[in-house]
Structure 1
Amino acid sequence: MLPECGLIVERDGIPKLAAWLYQDNSCGVAWLAWVTKNPAIHARETATDVKVLLGAVDEIARTQNRHTVICTTKVRGLGRTLMRCGYAANHEVMEYFRGVPHGS
């Protein structure tokens, strides 16, 4: 069972990724944290799953009136995918941030 801020990406009933999206109650920032992949899934498959996760993060952030999502990771593959999805690298390529897209 996940906390309310927990997210899971599944394919064919198999959990691929889990993450938490924390939201500050005093400003419009959300923090995507603890992105974890199923160890039985090959890393090559996870880029697509991360994109699905980030789409859900955008939707949640948009509906909660968040303007920025931050994510910290030392996992280079995740960092590369974050950058391909519009996140900007900061702090020795460990912190990533992105404005939440509103509208089409």
Structure 2
Amino acid sequence: MMESKVINVREGDSNLLTVFDLWWDGHGQERVPVGFLPKCGVMAEQNGRPVAVTWLYMDNSIGAAWVAWLTTRPGLKGKESVRALNYLLESVEEVADEFDYKLLFTMAQGRGLQSWFKRRGFIENHSGMSQLFKSLK
């Protein structure tokens, strides 16, 4: 059972970024480009230990927010991961609601994560998309 929840806003908080990078590496994923993460990082903790993290890009003109780079601590078992992600998404929804955002959107790779989002009320809009980045500097 998730006993504690901590919501961290990452502005100047290198700990959240460090945890995220270590987990991303632990899952064998390429790190998110430096400087690309928004100020709003959300972390769920269980018994004072981080278990899941995501980032929330909050548009300032239309009240929509992008839930991005969702990841769990490497080594969590299936049910533990789902529980952590459920808790994390609840926290993200609270943050978005606090700022009066009306829409969350995300991109998910893999049927398992896509199904998980759908079970939580997300509706698939496009399939077969890729994330593409271009650095301008």
Measure, in 1, the Cα distance between the counterparts of 2:48 and 2:112. 24
> Secondary structure of 1:73's partner?
coil
The aligned counterpart of 1:12 is 47
Measure, in 1, the Cα distance between the counterparts of 2:108 and 2:95. 21
Gaps of 5+ in 1: 95-104
Say if 1:93 and 1:37 are closer, same or farther in 2 by CA, change over 3 A. farther
Q: Percent identity?
A: 36
CA RMSD of aligned residues (A): 1.8
Say if 1:73 and 1:16 are closer, same or farther in 2 by CA, change over 3 A. same
> Secondary structure of 2:124's partner?
strand
How many residues matched? 94
Instruction: Return the structure number with greater strand share.
Output: 1
The aligned counterpart of 2:99 is 64
Gaps of 5+ in 2: 1-14, 17-37, 130-137
- Note if contact 2:72-2:84 (Cα within 8 Å) is conserved in structure 1: no
TM-score by length of 1: 0.79
Q: Post-superposition, which runs of at least 4 consecutive aligned residues in structure 1 deviate over 6 A? A: none
User: Displacement of 1:93 after TM fit?
Assistant: 7.1
Measure, in 1, the Cα distance between the counterparts of 2:128 and 2:59. 23
